[in-house]
Structure 1
Amino acid sequence: MDKIELNSLTLEELEKFMVGIGEKGYRGEQLFTFFHRNYGHKIEDISVFSIGLRDKLKKFGRVNNIEVLKRFDSNIDNTKKYLFLLEDNNIIEGVVMEYKHGLTVCISTQVGCKMGCSFCASTKEGFIRNLSPSEMVNQIYSMEKDLNKKISNIVLMGSGEPLDNYENTLKFLYIIHHEKGHNISYRNITLSTCGVVPRIYDLADEGIPITLSISLHSPLDDIRSNMMPIGNRYSINDIINSCKYYYNQTNRRITIEYTLIEGVNDRDRDLEEIVKILKDLNCHINLIPLNPIEEFDEERPTGRSAQRFRTDLERAGIPVTIRREMGSDISASCGQLRRSYIRDRDRKTFQ
């Protein structure tokens, strides 16, 4: 019989688990606090439990842990990039970014990604598996412990598609938000998706007021489908309708992520179409100049081109910013560092 991954359970699930093994339900709350407020990850360290109860936990359950494999510090802006080693020896990555309002972390939700977006490094090594809720929260706890600082904002925008790992992502949100644990406000959490439309509706119906961020990258279905295979399943109209539903259910403004690619999606025609499709959506556009990778033979726009695009959107009445590039000297964009580390490791192994 497989043991239950205890630190992936919600408070309610832990209470039921404790009752199921013949203990009082309140022991579940003690265990939840041990994991998610006190950074605990070893059953033998739960001092409020008797040795007998700890032995019983070891019999029926297990605790998933991750290790900091390596940390890379930017010399430019205090961004810190982490590579984490999972128990099955897979590697994921996370980022800590420092802003005036506090620390923001970007975490992974999958090992690899199956979405196949042409300009994204996360997907180039393929999809391996989903992360469990504990593997998601432990990225945050590991970074907080390492830096001895509390995180104020969370972005699910690292490797993987969060809505392709929907149930585990949802449990992660409940766990990290719970007042008996880390007590992060939902309003300080952003989930980025390439547009898994049915799950956007599902998430909206959960009534969780997190920020939904849509990776759009083109207002034209044919161009978007060439860059993002998911565009062959869900049209831009499908995505915009789901965003409107999400806004109506949560009253949270939508963020539109738009990677600017020279001569591909930064033309006058693109501007006109963006204004047309977003005019009735309460949203904010985040412009991202392309971070080139080897397999995507397109160019990053000039600074002047990006500013022009921003200015024209503002004139059309659409709120827009150009994302500040963080940690450029440590490959801080999604998937880049993990990929280069694995390549170097494998190259050394076979030399």
Structure 2
Amino acid sequence: MNSEVVASSVKQDGPQSLSTPVQVETVPKVNLLGMSRPQLEAFFETLGEKKFRAGQVMKWIHQFFVTDFAEMSNISGKLREKLEQVCEIKAPEVVHRNYSKDGTRKWVFRVGEGAGSLVETVLIPAEHKTGLSRTLCISSQVGCALDCSFCSTGKQGFQRDLTPDEIIGQLWVANHSYMEDVPVAERERSVTNVVMMGMGEPLLNYDAVLSSMYIMLDDFAYGMSKRRVTLSTSGVVPKIDQLGKDIDVALAISLHAPNDALRNELVPINKKYPLEQLIAACQRYIAKNGNESSRRHVTIEYVMLDGVNDHPEHAQQMIKLLKNLPSKINLIPFNPFPHAPYERSSRNRIISFQKTLSDAGFVCTIRQTRGDDIDAACGQLVGQVADRTRRAEQWKKKVEEGNVILRSQG
């Protein structure tokens, strides 16, 4: 945050002195929230401190959710004073939050200075045999440039990439939301899983997303398992290969169509990286297996659009497309948004689609619809709060003119 300090410059002129106000801009404070451990270690060295201070501060920030340096009791008072002068721990501003009756939580954050821009984060709880999980869907960009035809976020256009502190800040706020009234010494990390599946295409904001995932995996921060951090992409093939070299996390593909002709319309990036290239990249990613099982399979996401991609022949095409790719398929009932030219596939059709894939040997699940009462589908609420581009207006015009894919017959 920039601040201004007024100083006095005294000029001697004969027996009298004249004071002239001079404005001096101070250096913005360094936000430690989005810094990885190597970055923090390098930063502390610039302060003349030992590198181990980085681990101490990371624990205070990401495990005890402390933003006041004065509360960091295992750090000397002198260092705390120095950090207070030059640093801050600042998460994105929460401008809206809503907690669903089914346990789903949703936040809208303002990022940037002044009026800024808005992004969303959704937390979805689920009961399992092994206990309760809390999965956080994190955004990586303000809006999205890919403009998938069924996606609410894409209709808002692309504004900018999020910074590491804006990305990891979403995880910080979600954890802190369960710990606000808990004494610092008793606080714990509540989010069990992260999916980079919110607003934006993560692989088009590669460096910031990669840095944030390193923090998620770091034992001095969130200490999450590689299997519990998932990056979802629409199919930026070169970056999938780069991801395989840089980190070991789970991979999900937003597929949504089993053939190039249909996918070109639903997911336009397919025109640049068609299915043959995409599936080959997924196979290469799995081949670079880590010590854990994060790469044993790819998760295939498939939104069910009534009459568009839910016919029996589409299921058969899926079977052929994925036959040599270890994968789990997640069928997603479509979440309608204003002016969307699609409808959700019927429950019976989704179940029939699932049965065809399961009978062919695939693990295929149907995503439970959650948070409908708080517009929990990605992009819905931000679209209502602030449409900052003309893309939504243009989309509405296209729908009215009928120049989009409508349900096919037969």
What TM-score does the superposition give when structure 1 sets the normalisation length? 0.90
Q: What code does the residue aligned with 1:83 have? A: V
Partners of 1:74 and 1:31 lie apart in 2 by 33
Match for residue 305 of structure 1? Answer: 349
CA deviation vs aligned residue, 1:70-99 (integer Å, no higher than 9, x gap)? 221223x22121122335232221112111
Q: What code does the residue aligned with 1:110 have? A: Q
Partners of 1:102 and 1:321 lie apart in 2 by 17
CA deviation vs aligned residue, 1:213-238 (integer Å, no higher than 9, x gap)? 10000011121111112111100111
Q: What code does the residue aligned with 1:310 have? A: Q
Partners of 1:201 and 1:314 lie apart in 2 by 29
Of the three residues 200, 204, 219, the one matched with 1:179 is 219
Match for residue 105 of structure 2? Answer: 80
Match for residue 347 of structure 1? Answer: none
Of the three residues 171, 174, 178, the one matched with 1:143 is 174
Question: Runs of 4+ in structure 1 displaced over 3 angstroms?
Answer: 1-5, 42-64
* Pairing 1:31–2:57 present: yes
Match for residue 267 of structure 1? Answer: 311
Post-superposition offset of 1:295: 3.6
Q: What code does the residue aligned with 1:92 have? A: V
Count of residue correspondences: 342
* Pairing 1:236–2:267 present: no
* 1:311-350 equivalences in 2 (<5 Å): 311-342=355-386
Partners of 2:46 and 2:98 lie apart in 1 by 44
Q: Which structure has the greater CA radius of gyration? A: 2
Greater CA drift, 25-34 or 211-220: 25-34
Provide the identity percentage: 36
Partners of 1:217 and 1:309 lie apart in 2 by 13
Partners of 1:155 and 1:305 lie apart in 2 by 27
Partners of 1:131 and 1:61 lie apart in 2 by 20
Partners of 2:75 and 2:354 lie apart in 1 by 58
Of the three residues 226, 250, 253, the one matched with 1:211 is 250
Post-superposition offset of 1:319: 1.7
Post-superposition offset of 1:43: 4.4
Q: What code does the residue aligned with 2:254 have? A: S
Query: In 1, are the aligned partners of 2:141 and 2:162 still within 8 Å (CA)?
Result: yes
Runs of 5+ in structure 2 lacking a partner? Answer: 1-26, 180-188, 290-294, 389-410
Partners of 2:55 and 2:328 lie apart in 1 by 39
Match for residue 98 of structure 1? Answer: 125
Partners of 1:27 and 1:147 lie apart in 2 by 27
CA deviation vs aligned residue, 1:251-297 (integer Å, no higher than 9, x gap)? 33100000111221112331221111100110011111211223431
Q: What code does the residue aligned with 1:269 have? A: E
Match for residue 94 of structure 2? Answer: 68
Partners of 1:111 and 1:64 lie apart in 2 by 19
Q: Measured at CA, do residues 278 and 257 of structure 1 come closer, stay the same or move farther in structure 2, by a change above 3 Å?
A: same
Runs of 5+ in structure 1 lacking a partner? Answer: 345-351
Match for residue 220 of structure 1? Answer: 259
Match for residue 284 of structure 2? Answer: 245
* Pairing 1:7–2:33 present: yes
Query: In 1, are the aligned partners of 2:67 and 2:88 still within 8 Å (CA)?
Result: no
Match for residue 43 of structure 2? Answer: 17
Partners of 1:108 and 1:287 lie apart in 2 by 21
Match for residue 14 of structure 2? Answer: none
Q: What code does the residue aligned with 2:261 have? A: D
Partners of 1:260 and 1:300 lie apart in 2 by 6
Of the three residues 232, 241, 249, the one matched with 1:192 is 232
1:72 alignment partner, SS class: strand
Query: In 2, are the aligned partners of 1:207 and 1:249 still within 8 Å (CA)?
Result: no
1:124 alignment partner, SS class: helix
RMSD (CA atoms): 2.1
